[in-house]
Chain A
């Protein structure tokens, strides 16, 4: 079933090659050009394009590997000065690179399915739910990003965690963190679960120092290997990785708490200026203008990154404490992962709407373990994927958008029949 689902979606992805592309297409082309044509030392300093490299080094290495193959397609796409370059070969190569790195996702799915007790659900339902996840297809193959490989690694890590092979799981999670640091939101769940079940012996609550060192050194080794070439410019790298100047919300507001907060602020400002409380003319802040920038609230207090961090931490805390008290059944761990992803999505700083996939994908695994989770999954799946629609604004994609969303519904009702 995995093979069939993989190849059928592969055909769909091939069909989507000429579809609309967002600026992320240019972003990744630019990164490929940077890594290919500049020495390592300049990767995080280069700023010819406005889309500077802001993923961790491991992803930069990945782009470098891609650029080696890209030079067989069209050498011109590897020139940093060629801004917005999109020849047919470039499009073909970039699209194909996403399609083929998606095979990692298929492998991750296979690992996940084989680590759960074998049944009809793991053989058929889970592969379909994961591989035909329409959010991932929309974000990767229309909007253009490399989430397939990243979520593939996440699934791999989750699969090892489910099997109880914590070292491997930790290793892959560290690799993932070094490819895209947004997954740090899931780290608290990993930390608590590993500390409880790997570093503390469940029977005697005795601290297993050997396990702790092994895990710690594995994770550290991955980080060292990634960041070592950049050891004398860490400040610059981190300034690129965590651009707090980008503002509370993304250009398109992610459907989270801050969107409500902004709306409330706007409404309050509107009402108060009508009633004459606000005499001074404010610079009308355009929060959805498209450009990513800082802005200030009019009525409500301004939000700083620290506030969002604390708030996210506070919201996560109950789930983490609960996870500490529960046994090491994988469903507890997965549920905590979903909750961590959701709390960071709701309260995080500069959240993209794509980040909802971080909750939906682990929840798909959870949904086949437990019926009540399956119900949540249907709801979150539909709403979450619906929230991705603004990413694909051209009307030529109207049909493409509308149809896949109904698919999870269908699959799930299909599942219930059996």
Chain B
């Protein structure tokens, strides 16, 4: 039978993907944002409204305020690729039921069959883009596994855990958005770049950028990495690198030209739609620097929007600077994903007009980095879902959040156990791991000696087992931090906030997560800077020239 030939790992990935789809399908049963809450509804109505606009109006009118297109009511403010996608799904929708996209009349349309249609469009996008992209990435990166001590998590487990990440499931299939497309394109672009297919990577990334302008959070690492690959290395001629650069530039511009063709006349008007400055530095409660800073110092009273934007720009650029410059000067494949994390996290923490959902843009690169540092990444991903909790609470997705988080945590525990069992060759897995940690401490107790001896021995033991102790401390911190999350979530769900501070718990949650994000920002920056330059690119060239 042919199925026997597939290895255990492949079966695991197939099973994981099916479970991931099942979880997504079950999440679609839950309410979406703004369900049954006129007059503005929520993101669900925004997407439906875009379908209405794009299917009924000519492309030139999509971004313009006309009598048929009231931009104040969920005006289209995403780049053209989103508009085309909405046009396509809108056409399918109007074929199924023309009331769904009738101009003006369909405003605020809600219904069980419409909900199913909308949910299925996201599910289809996810199955076509994000899930295969993630499988492809881990499959492509799977080959390199050097010494067993720092061996990363196996690609199949990393794929499954990546597919089960609750953040993207909750926002796309619960809250309702199409992040899976832009993020899927990002993952594809990253894998192509790491496979040295710069032009394909450029096409994918430009498409991602043209689907959602938030992908600018990731633009700098792509730019820097491609630029540095065009810098002539010893043994390369200047012309060949210039041709390389020109190829990339032309590809990017061609993609832009094709996608923006209908709008070339009012390019700047569309740009103004995409980057609205008058919305303020943040909406609701976001776990970033400005929101936390705002507690002590009311920014919105002191600075105008334009001024604030410049401050944000300066702050963001200076924070992205170290990782981007490092990537340009000392490029390495290993640090590319890290620099994606650093850049997007810097944007999330310091830039202008940030949504709490934007943490997904950091979450996905962290998912890609997962095999290298499972525990840190797991911690980050948990906190990222936690930071969106007030939003999910508002949408009525608490049950889904609890279920998906529980599923994720259990799967993580099982995978890590499996991983340790195979890597430590211990039969007991994680329990054995913790026992080896505790062994260090217990060992001291057994020695019957004078007090000074004990101290000496302890010191010796500590020095000898520094790594193990560091691990133990890390795990204690991790567990404490997650328990803190649990306590705050419990408070948000159960207690009424005091009357003077109605936003107390959301604010506490965002401050708590922001604090973590600062820590992660430092950690990932240090991690990136620690990785030395990769020289094999040059080696290859030398071999070729000789």
**Chain A residues engaging chain B, CB cutoff 8 angstroms:** 4, 7-8, 10-12, 14-19, 92, 394-396, 399-400, 403-404, 406-407, 410, 413-414, 416-417
B116 touches A410 (CB 8 A): no
Please provide the chain B residues from 400 to 443 with a CB less than 8 Å away from any CB of chain A in the complex: 400, 402-404, 406-407, 410-411, 414
Which 7 A-B pairs rank lowest in CB-CB distance, beginning with the nearest? A14-B403, A399-B25, A11-B407, A15-B26, A403-B22, A11-B403, A15-B403
26 pairs from A and B in contact (CB 8 Å cutoff): A12-B26, A12-B403, A14-B399, A14-B403, A15-B23, A15-B400, A15-B404, A16-B26, A17-B399, A19-B26, A395-B116, A396-B29, A396-B115, A396-B119, A399-B22, A399-B25, A399-B28, A403-B18, A403-B22, A403-B25, A404-B22, A407-B18, A414-B8, A416-B4, A417-B8, A417-B11
Nearest to A18 among chain B residues (CB) is B29
Q: Return the CB mask of B19-34 against A: 1 if under 8 Å, else 0.
A: 0011101111111000
Q: Is B295 an interface residue (CB 8 A)?
A: no
Q: Is B123 an interface residue (CB 8 A)?
A: yes
Q: Is B3 an interface residue (CB 8 A)?
A: yes
By size class, the interface of chain B is: 20 to 34
A4 touches B410 (CB 8 A): yes
**Chain B residues engaging chain A, CB cutoff 8 angstroms:** 3-4, 8, 11, 14-15, 18, 21-23, 25-31, 112-113, 115-116, 119, 123, 399-400, 402-404, 406-407, 410-411, 414
Nearest to B112 among chain A residues (CB) is A396
B402 touches A14 (CB 8 A): yes
Residues of A within 8 A of B14 (CB): 410
A399 touches B21 (CB 8 A): yes
A396 touches B4 (CB 8 A): no
- How far does the alpha carbon of A406 sit from the alpha carbon of B15 in the complex, in Å? 9
- How far does the alpha carbon of A7 sit from the alpha carbon of B21 in the complex, in Å? 18
A12 touches B29 (CB 8 A): no
A413, chain B: closest CB distance, angstroms? 6
Nearest to A6 among chain B residues (CB) is B410
B331, chain A: closest CB distance, angstroms? 41
A18 touching B8 in the complex, CB below 8 Å, given contacts A10-B406, A11-B406, A404-B22: no
- How far does the alpha carbon of A417 sit from the alpha carbon of B8 in the complex, in Å? 8
- How far does the alpha carbon of A416 sit from the alpha carbon of B6 in the complex, in Å? 12
Chain A-chain B contacts (Cβ-Cβ < 8 Å), number: 81
- How far does the alpha carbon of A416 sit from the alpha carbon of B22 in the complex, in Å? 24
Pick the contact of A11: B4, B11, B18, B410 (CB < 8 A): B410
Nearest to A16 among chain B residues (CB) is B26
- How far does the alpha carbon of A10 sit from the alpha carbon of B123 in the complex, in Å? 23
B29 touches A11 (CB 8 A): no
- How far does the alpha carbon of A11 sit from the alpha carbon of B402 in the complex, in Å? 8
Pick the contact of B18: A16, A92, A410 (CB < 8 A): A410
A7 touching B30 in the complex, CB below 8 Å, given contacts A12-B23, A413-B11: no
- How far does the alpha carbon of A399 sit from the alpha carbon of B27 in the complex, in Å? 11
Pick the contact of A8: B21, B26, B115, B411 (CB < 8 A): B411
A25, chain B: closest CB distance, angstroms? 15
Q: Which of A7, A15, A16, A407 has the most CB of B within 10 A?
A: A15
B175, chain A: closest CB distance, angstroms? 15
B23 touches A7 (CB 8 A): no
- How far does the alpha carbon of A414 sit from the alpha carbon of B156 in the complex, in Å? 15
Pick the contact of B29: A19, A92, A404, A407 (CB < 8 A): A19
- How far does the alpha carbon of A73 sit from the alpha carbon of B65 in the complex, in Å? 50
Pick the contact of A410: B11, B123, B406 (CB < 8 A): B11
Pick the contact of A403: B21, B27, B119, B407 (CB < 8 A): B21
A136, chain B: closest CB distance, angstroms? 15
Nearest to A403 among chain B residues (CB) is B22
- How far does the alpha carbon of A4 sit from the alpha carbon of B412 in the complex, in Å? 11
- How far does the alpha carbon of A83 sit from the alpha carbon of B26 in the complex, in Å? 28
Residues of A within 8 A of B18 (CB): 403, 406-407, 410
B128, chain A: closest CB distance, angstroms? 14
A141, chain B: closest CB distance, angstroms? 10
B298, chain A: closest CB distance, angstroms? 38
Residues of B within 8 A of A92 (CB): 399
A7 touches B8 (CB 8 A): no
- How far does the alpha carbon of A149 sit from the alpha carbon of B402 in the complex, in Å? 24
